[in-house]
């Protein structure tokens, strides 16, 4: 007879064999977002795949590593330094919000583009920053000693936060730079990033939408792509080449490390790397948490945004002024909408839920072994029970976020709380009026990009969806207000927008100009505020506390779960989930055969762009000058075969949001492109990476330089770069 221990081992081996049958063969060399300081562990597979430069040229602590040429662009993109004078290359969509703030009807950079003809013509970008990571260090031994793995998060987090604050201060004193410590592997490791942030950033090049957003939503998150998704900025520095606020006397940042630019091109099968700041992945979660993404959040968001985008598009197509107000907002909403559709499809095609469950059977059998830490045995049952307990609450909350707070006027109701607070501070009437006026003027950014009629139509589109799906859980006020408006969404919208002060800055300023200390009731009776307050109160009382408690418990259990997974497969190199910190991924350039007539390809060209030209569709309208350049074959040094220019290419690199704008490098560490998207078939890579389907999409650097030089007439910038063959 077998002992219990031997039976458990036999069961474990059987399950492992069954999982191996379920899972396709995969190359670990193509999966993972690796901390640069750990790249020594990958030197052998990287060199076998085609890495030619020394591994410590990618990252080192002496200041000579290429990590010093990669920047966090703004708050959530990546950029790369491409000249000794601080030129930064990133995506068009990463610069979109900044350029919207610089644009108006007279200077429509979306329609016409912007190409500075000299440094004096570069435009300051208020609020934009870029951050360099000078080095990274594993500080786990400074943070976790003496803190038990099973200590609950509230107490644990308090102890850790105190230690982090002290260690960060030590590094800042020692290095003279900023220091930020973040958790990895759900808090099983901690790393410090030593950083330097520059605040004087100026716009240099921004192609028109006919290049930078070519293909629009139709091509977003798909392959093939034909988008010149790039923009160029410059970092300026103050005295001693250090960060400084904007000043006319600042000089271009003198970069010690910047990327050489390859004009040689590449071929399928060539080695490539992506360096950047991936935002969020969840590779190690349970099937129960994956279900909340796959079956709850994504479908709700897709349905609501489909309605919202259709409404916005109708108004944007009818008015250029509304287009300019909503173009950046629309791009942000549409980006998630399209991505989540591909995510669901990819998870379904890859049988991701089944694969997760199969892996969990293996884990459960291992956890049951007498030699395994008994704490691990209850992790999965608890994750399952707690997820099922809150699934309906998450369902309700997601509907509120997308359908109720997706209406701008209701979302703006939060502004009333800040205004109303001024009435409780004991001001005189004149002081109150002055305070309210200043508060309202500080919120002008909202009204600069807001249209009442557009938002009213969104109200009429989204509110019925909320009522349909959450009718048993609506706040009482919503039923009351709906009935008071004769159960007509059209009437409800018309009267709400007619009566609310929040629909315009002018209404609010008029109220502020005549306000008295007894007038707070005017604000608190505003119909938009009442709708906001009712749903905010419902969330606060019935949803948020329980969801937050679940998230806290889930974080605790997931921390133990990933620790246990790493113990079970102690010989495997694990990469931490993305958390907007510097990472490097690598893989080969490889094509994809999508559904449809396009067929297998790994590269697209300008000829294909011209073939897609359709003046009846804004997203496929090619600028006249670009057509002229193609017609005359005026490609300069950027052509392939003297017949066209390469536009975009794909490779098997593991990327995520935040990798937008990342440098794509060849085996010599030279820039061959700028990452901007993923293929529709592989957008599930935040949860499951399949090298057969997952592809990152990049703008070919030769197309970028062709547009700068030939289309934009800014060849002076190309002369500033170091081109290599």
Asked if 512 and 431 sit in the same domain, the reply is yes
The domain total for the chain is 3
Active site residues: 93, 229, 660
Give domain status of residue 218, yes or no.
yes
How confident is the model over 569-574, as a mean pLDDT? 94
Query: What pLDDT was estimated at residue 328?
Result: 84
Q: What is the mean pLDDT of residues 335-361?
A: 94
Residues 6+ apart with CB under 8 A from 434: none
- The domain that holds 699 is classified in CATH as 2.40.10.120
441 domain residue, yes or no:
yes
Distance CA 288, CA 233 (A): 43
Q: Is 9's pLDDT higher than 50?
A: no
Residue 150's pLDDT is what?
86
* Structure tokens that stand for 104 in this block: 């108006």
Q: What is the pLDDT of residues 700-717, one digit of tens each?
A: 999 999 999 999 999 999
Residue 719 pLDDT greater than 50, yes or no: yes
Find, among 258, 342, 167, the residue nearest to 693 by Cα.
342
Tokens of 244: 């400084």
Instruction: Say what the pLDDT of residue 154 is.
Output: 85
Q: Looking at the domain assignment, is residue 155 inside a domain?
A: no
Contact between residue 225 and residue 697 where contact means Cβ atoms under 8 Å apart: yes
Q: Domain range for residue 422?
A: 408-538
Question: Are residues 618 and 672 part of one domain?
Answer: yes
Same domain, 104 and 236: yes
Q: What is the pLDDT of residue 598?
A: 63
The angle subtended at Cα 656 by Cα 655 and Cα 657, nearest 5°, is 140
The pLDDT of residue 478 is above 70: yes
10-33 pLDDT tens trace:
333 333 333 333 333 333 347 999
pLDDT digits (tens, 9 = 90+) for 507-529: 999 999 999 988 889 999 999 99
Per-residue pLDDT averaged across 95-114, rounded? 93
- Tell me: the pLDDT tens digits for 51-87? 999 999 999 999 999 999 999 999 999 999 999 999 9
Rounded to whole angstroms, the Cα distance separating 630 from 640 reads: 13
| Shared domain check, 206 and 292 | no
Give CA torsion, residues 138, 144, 149, 153, to 10 deg. Answer: -100
Query: In residues, how long is the chain?
Result: 725
**179 located within any domain:** no
Average pLDDT over the chain, rounded to an integer? 93
Identify whether 165 is part of a domain: no
Task: Mark whether 274 and 325 lie in a shared domain.
Answer: no
Q: Could you tell me the two tokens for 610?
A: 């011209």
Decide if 35 contacts 583 (C-beta within 8 A): yes
Which of these, 707, 692, 697, 672, lies nearest to 602 by C-alpha position?
A: 697
- Is pLDDT at 650 greater than 60 in this prediction? yes
DSSP state of 251: E
Same domain, 529 and 420: yes
pLDDT score recorded for residue 3: 40
Place of tokens 């001024």: 422
For residue 8, pLDDT beyond 80? no
Is the model's pLDDT at 2 over the cut of 80? no
Question: Are residues 216 and 355 located together in one domain of the fold?
Answer: no
More confidently predicted of 72 and 642: 72
Neighbours of 226 (CB within 10 A): 22
Q: pLDDT band for position 402 (50/70/90)? A: very high
Note whether 646 and 709 are same-domain residues. Answer: yes
The arithmetic mean of pLDDT across residues 158-185, rounded, is 97
Q: What is the mean pLDDT of residues 689-698?
A: 95
3-state helix, strand, coil in the chain (%, to 5): 55, 15, 30
Predicted pLDDT of residue 595: 62
- Of residues 10 and 263, more confidence is placed in 263
Does residue 430 fall inside a structural domain?
yes
Q: Do 317 and 442 lie in a common domain?
A: no
What mean pLDDT do residues 130-140 have? 98
Same domain, residue pair 239 and 303: no
Residue 114, C-beta contacts closer than 8 angstroms, at least 6 positions apart: 99, 123, 203, 205, 206
The answer to whether residue 142 sits within a structural domain is no
Give the pLDDT band of residue 597 (cuts 50, 70, 90): low
Residues 316 and 439 in one domain: no
Looking at 471-504, list the stretches that DSSP marks H as alpha helix, in order from N- to C-terminal side: 476-484, 489-499
pLDDT at 551 over 70: yes
Three-state DSSP at 278 gives: coil
The four Cα atoms 107, 111, 116, 121 give a dihedral, to 10 degrees, of 10
Residues 119 and 113: beta-carbon distance below 8 Å: no
Same domain, 558 and 603: no
Taking the C-alpha atoms of residue 161 and residue 174, their distance in angstroms, rounded to an integer, is: 20
Q: Does residue 342 belong to any structural domain of this protein?
A: yes
């Amino acid at each position: 007879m077998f002992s219990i221990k031997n039976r458990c081992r036999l069961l474990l081996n059987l399950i492992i064999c069954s999982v191996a049958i379920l899972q396709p063969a995969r190359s670990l060399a193509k999966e993972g977002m690796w901390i640069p300081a750990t790249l020594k562990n990958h030197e052998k597979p990287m060199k076998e795949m085609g890495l030619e430069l020394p591994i410590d040229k990618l990252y080192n602590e002496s200041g000579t590593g290429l990590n010093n040429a990669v920047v966090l662009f703004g708050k959530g993109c990546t950029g790369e330094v491409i000249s000794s004078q601080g030129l930064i290359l990133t995506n068009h969509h990463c610069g979109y919000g900044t350029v919207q703030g610089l644009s108006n009807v007279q200077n429509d950079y979306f329609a016409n583009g912007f190409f500075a003809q000299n440094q004096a013509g570069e435009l300051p970008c208020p609020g934009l920053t870029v951050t360099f990571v000078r080095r990274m260090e594993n500080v786990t031994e400074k943070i976790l000693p003496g803190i038990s793995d099973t200590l609950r998060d509230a107490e644990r987090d308090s102890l850790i936060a105190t230690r982090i604050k002290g260690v960060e201060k030590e590094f800042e004193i020692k290095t003279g730079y900023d220091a930020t410590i973040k958790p990895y592997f759900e808090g099983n490791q901690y790393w410090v990033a030593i950083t330097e942030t520059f605040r004087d950033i100026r716009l240099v090049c921004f192609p028109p939408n006919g290049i930078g957003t070519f293909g629009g939503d139709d091509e977003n998150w798909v392959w093939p792509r034909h988008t010149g998704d790039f923009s160029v900025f410059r970092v300026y520095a103050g005295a001693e080449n250090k960060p400084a606020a904007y000043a006319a006397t600042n000089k271009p940042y003198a970069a010690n490390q910047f990327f050489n630019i390859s004009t040689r091109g590449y071929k399928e099968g060539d080695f490539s790397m992506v360096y950047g700041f991936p935002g969020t992945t969840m590779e190690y979660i349970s099937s129960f948490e994956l279900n909340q993404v796959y079956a709850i959040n994504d479908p709700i968001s897709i349905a609501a945004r489909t309605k919202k985008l259709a409404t916005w598009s109708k108004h944007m197509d009818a008015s250029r002024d509304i287009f300019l107000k909503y173009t950046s907002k629309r791009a942000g909403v549409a980006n998630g909408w399209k991505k989540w559709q591909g995510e669901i499809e990819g998870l379904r095609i890859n049988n991701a839920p089944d694969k997760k469950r199969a892996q969990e059977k293996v884990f459960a059998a291992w956890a049951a072994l007498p030699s395994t830490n008994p704490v691990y045995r209850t992790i999965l049952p608890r994750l399952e029970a707690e997820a099922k307990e809150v699934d309906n609450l998450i369902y309700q909350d997601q509907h509120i976020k997308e359908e109720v707070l997706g209406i701008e006027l209701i979302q703006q109701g939060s502004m009333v709380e800040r205004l109303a607070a001024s009435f409780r501070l004991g001001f005189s009437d004149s002081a109150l009026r002055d305070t309210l006026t200043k508060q309202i003027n500080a919120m002008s950014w909202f009204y600069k990009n807001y249209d009442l009629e557009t938002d009213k139509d969104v109200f009429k589109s989204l509110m019925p969806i909320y009522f349909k799906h959450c009718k048993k859980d609506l706040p009482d006020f919503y039923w009351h207000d709906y009935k008071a408006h004769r159960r007509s969404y059209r009437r409800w919208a018309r009267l709400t927008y007619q009566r609310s002060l929040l629909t315009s800055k002018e209404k609010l300023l008029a109220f502020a100009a005549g306000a008295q200390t007894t007038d707070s009731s005017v604000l608190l009776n505003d119909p938009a505020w009442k709708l906001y307050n009712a749903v905010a109160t419902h969330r606060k009382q019935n949803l948020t506390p329980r969801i937050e408690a679940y998230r806290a418990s889930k974080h605790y259990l997931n921390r133990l779960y990933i620790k246990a997974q790493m113990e079970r497969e102690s010989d495997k190199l694990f990469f931490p989930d993305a958390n907007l910190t510097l990472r490097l991924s690598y893989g080969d350039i490889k094509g994809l055969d999508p559904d449809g007539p396009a067929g297998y390809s790994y590269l697209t060209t300008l000829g294909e762009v011209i073939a897609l030209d359709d003046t009846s569709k804004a997203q496929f309208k090619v600028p006249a000058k670009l057509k002229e350049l193609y017609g005359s074959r005026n490609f300069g040094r950027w052509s392939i075969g003297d017949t066209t220019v390469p536009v975009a290419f794909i490779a098997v690199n593991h990327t995520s949001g935040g990798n937008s704008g990342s440098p794509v490098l060849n085996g010599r560490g030279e820039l061959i492109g700028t990452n901007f998207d993923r293929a529709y078939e592989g957008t599930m890579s935040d949860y499951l990476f399949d090298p057969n389907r997952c592809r990152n999409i990049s703008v070919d650097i030769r197309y970028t330089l062709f547009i700068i030089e030939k289309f934009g007439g800014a060849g002076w910038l190309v002369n500033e770069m170091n081109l290599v063959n």
